[in-house]
Amino acid sequence: MAEGLFRAIGYQKTAVADIARELGMSPANVYLFFPSKSAINEAITARLLEGVASDLEAIADGPGAAPDRLRAMLRALHARHLALFFSQKRMHDMVSAAMSEHWGVISGFIARIEAAMGRVIADGARRGEFAPIDPAEGARMLKQATLCWTHPVLIADAMDKRQVEEAQMAGELDGMLDLLIRGLRPDS
């Protein structure tokens, strides 16, 4: 129904009249499906984030050692944001706006990812791969420590101004993950 929407849309620049024309409707009719323009934006964003979140959850709840899964999750999250920035700038801008303006979708997305990371940490602790830290707290710290690599605004900042290479950034993230995972390990 609203499938056609998610194709040729750019955030904040296209009017609902454009969307309606794209769908072969009148502008008024769009409001039978969405309560407001910002609801449309949120729906598009939610659609995008849903894909990311389910990918990360697949990693979190999949096989492998807990540290490896954490590493894979954060690498994947970083890679997704980087890809967005380079190949779908409009979407990147929309997600950036969603974060700085604290849209509704974002908090759910973050909670979902933190929960997934929390599960991995709890699992790792159960298996003796991690120290018995509070999973929720650990997950939040991981998120905050890697903010540079997963926050759209900070990524854009790094790429725009400092001219950081893509590979170098990924390398630094790996170093950070080494440090954090060392910190999570139990005393031996």
Q: How far is the CB of 174 from a second copy (least distance, A)?
A: 11
What angle in degrees, to the nearest 10, is found between the helix axes of 37-60 and 66-87?
Answer: 150
Name the minimum Å distance from CB 23 to DNA.
9
Would you say 96 and 11 are in contact if contact means Cβ atoms under 8 Å apart?
no
Which residue among 4, 6, 21, 36 contacts DNA (CB under 7 A)? 36
Binds 7, which of DNA, a second copy, none (CB < 5 to 8 A, cut-off by type)? none
> Contact residues for a second copy (CB under 8 A)?
100, 102, 137-138, 140-141, 144-148, 154, 157, 161, 172, 175-176, 178-184, 187-188
* 153 Cβ contact list (under 8 Å, min separation 6): 96, 99, 100
8 binds DNA (CB under 7 A): no
Interacting stretch for DNA, rule CB under 7 A, among 36-44, 106-114, 146-154, 165-173?
36-44
Contacts of 96 by beta carbon, 8 Å cutoff, 6+ apart: 152, 153, 156
22: how many CB neighbours lie within 10 A of its CB?
14
- Shortest CB 107 distance to DNA, Å: 21
Tokens 């729906």 appear where? 43
Please report, as ranges, the residues that interact with DNA according to CB under 7 A.
Answer: 15-17, 25-29, 31-32, 35-38
